[in-house]
Amino acid sequence: MEPLSPEAVLVINQKISLPLLEKKKVELYIKREDLIHPQISGNKYRKLKYNLLEAKKLKYDTLLTFGGAYSNHIAATAYAGKLNKMQTIGVIRGEELANIWTDNPTLSAAHQQGMKLKFVSRTDYREKETTAFIDKLKIEFGDFYMVPEGGTNKLAVKGCEEILTAKDEVYDIICCSVGTGGTLAGLINSAAPNQRVLGFPALKGDFLKKDICKFVENGDWDLCTDYHFGGYARVDESLVSFINEMHQNTGIPLDPVYTGKMMYGLLDMITNNFFNPGTKILAIHTGGLQGIAGINLYLKSKKLPIIDI
Query: What is the binding site for ligand PLP (CB under 6 A)?
Result: 42-44, 72-73, 150, 152, 177-184, 255, 258-259, 286-288
The smaller minimum CB distance to ligand PLP, of residues 39 and 43, is found at 43
3-state helix vs strand vs coil in the chain, percent to 5 = 45, 15, 40
The smaller minimum CB distance to ligand PLP, of residues 31 and 44, is found at 44
Q: Rounded to the nearest whole angstrom, what is the least distance from the CB of residue 25 to ligand PLP in the complex?
A: 28
CA 194 to the chain's CA centroid: 26
Q: Rounded to the nearest whole angstrom, what is the least distance from the CB of residue 216 to ligand PLP in the complex?
A: 13
Between CA 10 and CA 12 the distance in angstroms is: 7
Residue 27: phi and psi, rounded to 5, are -100, 135
Q: Rounded to the nearest whole angstrom, what is the least distance from the CB of residue 19 to ligand PLP in the complex?
A: 27
Between CA 65 and CA 198 the distance in angstroms is: 28
**Shortest Cβ contact with ligand PLP: which residue?**
288
The smaller minimum CB distance to ligand PLP, of residues 170 and 213, is found at 213
The smaller minimum CB distance to ligand PLP, of residues 61 and 113, is found at 113
Q: What are the residues whose beta carbons fall under 8 Å from the beta carbon of 111, sequence distance 6 or more?
A: 78, 101, 117
CA 13-193-275 angle, 5° bins: 60
Q: Rounded to the nearest whole angstrom, what is the least distance from the CB of residue 257 to ligand PLP in the complex?
A: 7
Between CA 284 and CA 186 the distance in angstroms is: 12
Q: What are the residues whose beta carbons fall under 8 Å from the beta carbon of 138, sequence distance 6 or more?
A: 144
Q: Rounded to the nearest whole angstrom, what is the least distance from the CB of residue 23 to ligand PLP in the complex?
A: 28
Q: Rounded to the nearest whole angstrom, what is the least distance from the CB of residue 186 to ligand PLP in the complex?
A: 8
The smaller minimum CB distance to ligand PLP, of residues 179 and 265, is found at 179
The smaller minimum CB distance to ligand PLP, of residues 39 and 88, is found at 39
Cβ–Cβ < 8 Å for 118, 89 = yes
